[in-house]
Structure 1
């Protein structure tokens, strides 16, 4: 699964990305993931299959969907805050099924 994570500056999603990589590796799931800031998602989107957006930039969700044409969803605030990788995996799998 190829996931692009988008947040305001790419910093908080980088932390989440590391936890996602570790959890998904433990689950035996192949993951290609990158964390970028809101200003950079368009240049990377074509390399990915789905986009997960941090809650702090969820107001841009519709624009990101329109710009990329990829299945895109905001990570729920609580799951993002505590890095609930199990719930984020479920969300990613739901989006992946839509592609």
Structure 2
């Protein structure tokens, strides 16, 4: 089971991306839990995640999140703006898997 957390400013703009990522994972036969939260909830939610992906509009928060991610031992990165804009669930899922070493 792969636990993938997405963080954005309100948690709403990534909801469609979460759906597309779940579809891509299902098509690949990968068991996942993928969810999105607002920036203020991300630090607490990181404890349940294997990776954190940050919405491109939140890239300025990467250093702040990196401190918590290091404590809980998970990788993090900013979602590619093109993949985010296109709601490319497959590309974002592949990035998450790559960060996890899969």
Alignment of 1:84-99 (within 5 A): 84-97=88-101
Shift of 1:15: 1.4
Q: After TM superposition, where is structure 1 displaced by more than 4 Å over at least 4 residues in a row?
A: none
Alpha-carbon separation, structure 1, partners of 2:99 and 2:5:
12
Shift of 1:34: 1.3
Q: TM-score, normalised by structure 2?
A: 0.89
Q: TM-score, normalised by structure 1?
A: 0.92
Query: Residues 57-85 of structure 1: CA distance to partner in whole angstroms, max 9, x if unpaired?
Result: 01111210112222000011110011112
Alpha-carbon separation, structure 1, partners of 2:59 and 2:45:
18
Structure 2: runs of 5 or more not aligned: none
Aligned to 1:78: 82
For these two proteins, the number of residue pairs brought into alignment is 98
Alpha-carbon separation, structure 1, partners of 2:66 and 2:6:
13
SS, match of residue 33 in structure 1: strand
Answer yes or no: is the 8 Å Cα contact 2:11–2:36 preserved in 1: yes
Shift of 1:24: 1.1
| Structure 1 vs Structure 2 CA RMSD | 1.3
